[in-house]
Amino acid sequence: MSVESLHYQIKVKDTHAHLFEVSLTFTPISDTTVLSLPSWIPGSYLIRDFAKNIIQIQITDSNQSAVPLIQLDKNHWQFESTQTVTVCYQVYAFDLSVRSAYLDQNQGFFNGTSVFLCPQGLEHYCCELNVIENPHTPTWKVATSLKTEHLYQFGLYQAQNYDEFIDHPFILGDFDLHSFYVGDVQHDVVLMGKHYCDMARLCDDLQAICQTQIGFFNDDAPFTNKRYVFMTLVTQSGYGGLEHRDSTVLMCPRNDLPRIGEDKQTISDEYLNYLTLCSHEYFHNWNVKRIKPKAFAPYQLDKESYTTQLWAFEGFTSYYEALMVARAGLIDSQRFIKYLAQTLTRVFRTQGRFSQSLSDSSFNAWTKFYQQDANANNAIVSYYTKGAYIALALDLILRENQSSLDALMQLLWDKYKDGSGVPEGEIELLAGQLAGIDLTNFFDQALNGTQDIDLFPLLAQMGVKFGLGNVSSLSKLGGHKANLDGNEKAFIGARLAPHPWGAKVVFVENNGAAYKAGLASGDIIIALDNLKVSDKTIEKELSKFPLGTKVSIHAFRDSELFEMQLPTITSTNHTVWLDVLNQDLLDKWVLTSN
């Protein structure tokens, strides 16, 4: 055993109790050693306190003698010994998400940040991990992008240091696996969970997206071992993604995946959601994993790392997610602007954009964006969606001045692909240099202000007409003008969820009908005009009443029934539509990388 190595082992302890067992063997470099576990995972900006899931931790030395262990705080433990020691502990794993760890009879999953302790001062040591096969799950395989001599098998995996080690998640289970190549880079597609996916079609489509993105940056693919892994946890309704070096973990509803026998020339909205999710996380291989905020170089995973730049790293990526799908030839430019309109609609339906600036949204992601409450829609704005809005505006301004956001991304890659980190204000400075004009006022309004950027003249120059309209339901996200209702209908001004008694209020839009009636988040609506309603029927029933009147509505709050008067008013103009004025100009913008 190498002295300058950290030797880990992980095995399934109990699938019914959702327990992994982890051990770490190493030789201390001083009399006193402190062990720590990260408190958050890169790409998800919330203190998650993974150490809360560690149980039964103990240490023995090379003589098999117990070594006293003192817990210093929530995620640090201290012991004294100069002999080689083995730390053994169990991890409770029952968080079915892309961020933590999960284990049951059907599958196992873990991020290194959730399960692997590290001795402070030894983060530079090589890390070896032995993944032990469980005799009770003989058909399980291992999926990860971490270096190994035996792909998809139990056994030994290696990393050059702890930072690399914890950035390669693992899936254990009886998953489906297909592969494709882009140049000399192997791309593996792993689907864990019951599905009906046309894997051949999925691989063809992902190959086109990956080829487009690698070509976009005009450089070698930035993958350590010439291999990249798309790992998808297939669920009934879960959704999300998290970027890692050389891999991504995704979660999607099984109905988002393409089915065998479907028309391959048609991409459903659900499948497009999955493809754009894959595209988003793949684009992060350049924009976040290599080009990153200075505050993340290096990551400090025991505490918050504040930056005002997430608008660019997540917002730019959100802008490119569908653009790359279009440039890969999977959707046309009109489908792209429909998708873009729906992204913009999410911004225009967020009244919090008038209360929180984009820079503040980024800086306070730790306490606001990742810890949203019932008032979030009225108080905060997403640096994903509004960041994409600003990326669009900036791209169109740059194109007016013989440049583009493409050129800015390629310049950032050339300057910061070494991972040194982009200083605050650098992106704004480089954009101004590319445009050849002073963009100070634009960025001040876009990043520090709370007023909307006027997209109408910017889009018109690209052959697209921008407009805002009314809808009767928040489920209608807009797109083209024809997607709107076409006439004014009463709008409840609240997001509703199913409830056995009727409809549960999730959030109330300031100054909307529900707000004016006095409804609040958590209320259970049971009747409109003394007739039973549900979340599926209330909007249709409300639309039957003439505008400018009031309708009685009954709801429970904390088990107490009360009646209110709901005004019949329309929505504000907060649904975006984009229509084509000049197809040639639109195609030149969307389909051509500059």
Strands 247-253 and 240-244, by their bridges, are: antiparallel
Domain final residue, candidates 140, 156, 173: 173
Which residues 6+ apart lie within 8 Å of 462 measured at CB?
Answer: 396, 399, 585, 586, 589
Same domain, 513 and 458: no
What per-residue confidence (pLDDT) applies to 189? 98
What CATH number is associated with residue 542?
2.30.42.10
Strands 107-110 and 170-173, by their bridges, are: antiparallel
What per-residue confidence (pLDDT) applies to 490? 85
Q: What residues are paired with 73 via a beta bridge?
A: 76
Secondary structure of 181-235 in the HEC alphabet? Answer: EECCEEEEEEEECCCCECHHHHHHHHHHHHHHHHHHCCCCCCCCCCEEEEEEEEE
Same domain, 332 and 452: yes
3-state helix, strand, coil in the chain (%, to 5): 30, 30, 40
Domain final residue, candidates 173, 198, 226: 173
Three-state secondary-structure class, residue 275: helix
Domain count along the chain: 4
480 assigned to some structural domain: no
Query: What tokens does 199 get?
Result: 């894997």
550 assigned to some structural domain: yes
Cα 472 from Cα 564, distance rounded (Å): 20
Same domain, 236 and 295: no
What per-residue confidence (pLDDT) applies to 577? 94
What per-residue confidence (pLDDT) applies to 3? 63
List the alpha helices (DSSP H) in 266-309: 269-283
Report angle CA 257, 262, 267 to the nearest 5 degrees: 60
**What are residue 86's phi and psi, to 5 degrees?**
-125, 120
Residues of the chain short of pLDDT 50, as ranges, are none
93 assigned to some structural domain: yes
Same domain, 449 and 531: no
- Let me know: does 175 contact 141? Beta carbons within 8 Å: yes
55 assigned to some structural domain: yes
What per-residue confidence (pLDDT) applies to 370? 93
**What are residue 301's phi and psi, to 5 degrees?**
-90, 5
What per-residue confidence (pLDDT) applies to 485? 64
CA 286 to chain CA centroid, Å, is: 15
What CATH number is associated with residue 455?
1.10.390.10
Same domain, 262 and 318: no
- Let me know: does 240 contact 98? Beta carbons within 8 Å: yes
Same domain, 144 and 263: no
User: Using one digit for the tens of pLDDT, what is the confidence trace for 361-394?
Assistant: 999 999 999 999 888 989 999 999 999 999 999 9
Same domain, 314 and 243: no
- Let me know: does 166 contact 198? Beta carbons within 8 Å: no
List the alpha helices (DSSP H) in 91-140: 112-115
Same domain, 163 and 261: no
Cα 287 from Cα 409, distance rounded (Å): 8
Cα 47 from Cα 344, distance rounded (Å): 29
Same domain, 159 and 194: no
485 assigned to some structural domain: no
- 158: domain range? 5-173
Query: What tokens does 283 get?
Result: 């684009």
Same domain, 407 and 451: yes
Same domain, 124 and 16: yes
What CATH number is associated with residue 68?
2.60.40.3650
Which residues 6+ apart lie within 8 Å of 207 measured at CB?
Answer: 180, 181, 182, 187
Domain final residue, candidates 127, 158, 173: 173
278 assigned to some structural domain: no
Output the CA–CA distances (angstroms, integers) from residue 255 to 195, 229, 321, 529, in the order listed. 8, 21, 20, 37
Cα 169 from Cα 146, distance rounded (Å): 8
381 assigned to some structural domain: yes
Query: What tokens does 163 get?
Result: 């930072």
Token pair 């030839």: residue = 329
- Let me know: does 358 contact 386? Beta carbons within 8 Å: yes
Token pair 């995704």: residue = 250
- Let me know: does 168 contact 145? Beta carbons within 8 Å: yes
What per-residue confidence (pLDDT) applies to 592? 84
User: Using one digit for the tens of pLDDT, what is the confidence trace for 539-572?
Assistant: 889 989 999 999 999 999 999 999 999 999 987 7
Same domain, 169 and 179: no
Query: What tokens does 238 get?
Result: 């879960």
